[in-house]
Each structure stands twice: as structure tokens, then as C-alpha cells.
Amino acid sequence: MTNPINSYLTRGAKSNAHAAFLKRHRTRNFVIRLVQIALFIAFILFWELGANYRLIDPLLFSQPSKIWAMFAEMLLKGNLHNHITVTVIETIVGFILGTVFGTAIAIAIWWSPFLSKVLDPYLVVLNGMPKVALGPTFIVAFGGGYGGIIAMAIAISIIITTIVVYTSFREVDSNLIKLAQTFGANQRQIFGKIVLPASFPTIISTLKVNVGLAWVGVIVGEFLVSKQGLGYLIIYGFQVFNLTLVFVSLFIIAICASLMYQGVAALESKLLKNRE
């Protein structure tokens, strides 16, 4: 009766029905994870073998084994640290500043309904505009170093942050504001004690969106100017037609971006632990 797999799948069960439910639930989750891994392995195998048998052009798409070998070699030689550090720092600075500035503008607009009405069409237009198109302008204005690249990352996230945060300020229950007013609260107290904390979850969630946007901004910025960073490695790889280098960079970006996203998600659940 008590085989180890069964007792593992039903651990913590409160009754027979609960055990059956847990078993079904856990088996399903296990199968999902299994299929995910299988899909990944199949993809890598197809890529590797396809390149060997020339189904895929290895010059254009490289090959997992080559990518891995180059990654390991560069890592051991210490050729990667610098590029990774530069790009990660630019991204972190970019998404934090984008969120902070965007929130600051949202606060200014909340403070002055007149300003919000005046700026409304400009925000809509700016939000719709592809900010990357302004890349060269930023480089000229803020310099070809970190300045221009970070400006690019900020430009991409700032307007959407402003719009999202301002909307959440406005959607705060007017009864909560009335409550504060019955105690004689002034505008600053209404903001500090009600509106800002009520919108805190939204601000944190824009942080999560901005991580992704900042990556786009930084990589594009590095395409345009830099002499270092993962974006630079990609452009350099294309120029010397070393596609393996391009894929190594993409691989690193994928890992860093996921780690950063997970980090912000963890921060979010920690900060919002006690919210409804």
C-alpha cells in the first residue's frame, strides 16, 4: 500500500479526499515541469544536430556546443565580467531612475489638476512615439558614455511610468481622501498618508515592467555607441560575422534579465506581504 512515490505525492494530506486531490494536483504540476524540460532539450538537440547535418546554417545560427564553449572560455579568461557589469549597472540605474522620475512627474501632475489637463495630449503622443528613434539625439546630448545609454533606458520607461502611476493616484477611493479630510488633512498629508501608500503596489509593479524596458533601452544605446557591454558584443559579433558571440551575449542577457526580474518580483512580494 505505502509505496514511497505515493506517500511523497500525498504528503501533508488531511483526509483521503484531500490526499487524492493533492496527488492529482502534484502529478499534474510534475508533468508540466517535465514537458517544459523536454521541450527545452528537444530544442537544443534539434539546433545542435540540425547544425551538424546542415539543416540549419551554423554560420548564421551558430550551434549550442559552440556557444557554450565560447561562453566558458570567455568566462574563464575573464573577458566577460567587464561587459556584464557595465550593462547590468546601466540597466539597474536606468530602470530605477525611470521609475523614480516617472513617479515624480506623476506626483507633480496629481498636485496640479490644471497641469494634468495641459499635459494630457503630450503624454499620449510621447507614449506612442518610438523612443529608440531618438537614440542618436540622446547620444549627442548626453555623450557617448554611460550618460547617453542610461538616458535611453530612462526615455523608454519614464512616460509609461508617469501614465500608469498617475492613473493609480487618481483611482484611489475618494472616500479614503474624504476620511483624511474629516481629520483636517492638507494636500501634502492626503498625498503622504493616503494616495502614495495606496498606489505603492502599482509603483512596485511598474518597477517590474521597467526592468524589461530598461534592457531594451540599454542594449539599443550600446548598439549605437559603446565600446563595452553586452549590446556592444552583439554589434561587434555581427560586424566580424561571429554569430556565436552574438548568441553568447543573448544567452547572458536572457539570464541576467530573468534574474533581475525575479529579484524585483521577490522584492515586490516582500514589500506587499500584508496587502489585501
Partner 1 sequence: MKNNPIISFNQVSKTYITLDGETEALKDVNFTVGEGEFVALLGPSGCGKTTILSLLAGLILPTSGSIFIRNKKVETPSREIGYMLQQDYLLSWRTIRHNIMLGLEISKQNGKESYQYALDLLDEMELSAFKDHYPNQLSGGMRQRVALVRTLATRPDILLLDEPFSALDYTTRLRLEDLVIETLKKRRKTALLVTHDIAEAIAMADRIIIMDSNPGCIKKTVNLPPSLTKTLPFGSREVPDFQKYFQLIWREMNEND
Residues in contact with partner 1 by CB under 8 A are 173, 175-176, 178-185, 189, 193-194, 197-198, 200, 274-276
In the complex, the smallest distance separating the C-beta of residue 48 from partner 1, rounded to whole angstroms, is 51
Q: What three-state secondary structure class fits 215? A: helix
Which of residues 92 and 185 has its CB atom nearest to partner 1 in the complex? Answer: 185
Which of residues 105 and 194 has its CB atom nearest to partner 1 in the complex? Answer: 194
Distance CA 167, CA 269 (A): 22
- Looking at residue 240, the DSSP 8-state letter turns out to be T
In the complex, the smallest distance separating the C-beta of residue 267 from partner 1, rounded to whole angstroms, is 16
- Reading the block at residue 268, the C-alpha cell is 515586490
Which of residues 77 and 188 has its CB atom nearest to partner 1 in the complex? Answer: 188
Closest CA to 273 of 180, 200, 216: 200
Do residues 215 and 223 lie in contact, with contact meaning Cβ atoms separated by under 8 Å?
A: no
In the complex, the smallest distance separating the C-beta of residue 261 from partner 1, rounded to whole angstroms, is 24
Distance CA 247, CA 3 (A): 46
Closest CA to 177 of 189, 164, 165, 190: 190
In the complex, the smallest distance separating the C-beta of residue 207 from partner 1, rounded to whole angstroms, is 17
Which of residues 137 and 181 has its CB atom nearest to partner 1 in the complex? Answer: 181
Which of residues 155 and 180 has its CB atom nearest to partner 1 in the complex? Answer: 180
Burial of 68 per CB tally in 10 Å (0-12, 13-18, 19+):
middle
In the complex, the smallest distance separating the C-beta of residue 116 from partner 1, rounded to whole angstroms, is 18
- Reading the block at residue 224, the C-alpha cell is 549605437
Distance CA 246, CA 228 (A): 14
In the complex, the smallest distance separating the C-beta of residue 204 from partner 1, rounded to whole angstroms, is 12
Which of residues 72 and 267 has its CB atom nearest to partner 1 in the complex? Answer: 267
- Reading the block at residue 167, the C-alpha cell is 492613473
Which of residues 15 and 182 has its CB atom nearest to partner 1 in the complex? Answer: 182
In the complex, the smallest distance separating the C-beta of residue 155 from partner 1, rounded to whole angstroms, is 32
Instruction: Tally helices (H) and strands (E) across the chain.
Output: 13, 0
Contacts of 26 (CB under 8 A, 6+ apart): 9
- Looking at residue 8, the DSSP 8-state letter turns out to be H
